[in-house]
Structure 1
Amino acid sequence: MDKEKQLYYVNLNPISMDSISTMRVNDGQLIEYEIAATQAEKEELERLINEVHKHDVELSNLFTFKHFDELTADADKDEYQTGLNDVYDRLYQLGTEVTKQQIQEIHLQNEDDNEPGL
């Protein structure tokens, strides 16, 4: 079992969301998050991202129906957002200092709803 950590680059662009690479994309349009992860941690993150991405595709399909249940659609959006929050939490945990700073700056890290009234 390989326990050695390697640097990987993750972007959350909907088109290429499911790819975690050892190479930077260097596309000015994408935000890449640098993480240090073992093979097992990388695979776990890939599964999490794939689940969120799959749910995002399902969510977009909801809006193609003529009639849809708004409560179901809202629940699906909430589930998608929760999954996305989980992805950002995991990126933060595995992230390099630069990645942690990026996530803090854009306020996407889930702070366990510490603010009163939430």
Structure 2
Amino acid sequence: MEKQKYYINLNPISMDDISPTKIGDGQLIEYEIEATETEKKDLANLLHEVQKHDLELSNLFSFEHFDQSKTDIDQEEYQKGMDDVYEALYRLGTPETKRIIEEIHLRNREH
């Protein structure tokens, strides 16, 4: 399958948008990737799951009290999801994207 260029930003509001055109907003980091349609769909699913998990506020509070243990679990799951996102961006990324991820140390060194 032929690879196409796409741009991803990790803004929580639009995290799961994978665009064929660069936004060019100087305040957003846009990660440029080259992916097949299947790779793009897999990444979109991953981004959607991470974004959905980030917005699950019901895990943070109960009607009776703040539940720190649920918050900790939620935070760990979200971080694991973000680690997976950065690994995918690195794997599919252009040389510039790989350089950016390496420079800001967003790659999980265990992989």
- TM-score, with normalisation over the residues of structure 1? 0.87
Gap change, CA 1:68 and 1:104, over 3 Å in 2: same
- Counterpart for residue 26 of structure 2: 28
Deviation, structure 1 residue 73: 1.1
Alignment of 1:1-118 (within 5 A): 3-59=1-57, 62-63=60-61, 67-112=65-110
- How many percent of aligned residue pairs carry the same amino acid? 60
Gap change, CA 1:30 and 1:64, over 3 Å in 2: farther
Q: Distance in 1 between matches of 2:64 and 2:100?
A: 40
Deviation, structure 1 residue 72: 1.6
Q: Secondary structure at the match of 1:8?
A: strand
Deviating 4+ runs (over 4 angstroms): 63-66
- TM-score, with normalisation over the residues of structure 2? 0.93
Q: CA-to-partner distance for each residue in 1:42-81, whole Å, 9 max, x for gaps? A: 0000000000000000148625856132112101100000
Q: Distance in 2 between matches of 1:88 and 1:59?
A: 23
Segments of 5+ residues of structure 1 without an aligned counterpart are 114-118
Q: Secondary structure at the match of 2:105?
A: coil
Segments of 5+ residues of structure 2 without an aligned counterpart are none
Aligned-pair RMSD on alpha carbons? 1.7
Q: Distance in 1 between matches of 2:96 and 2:61?
A: 37
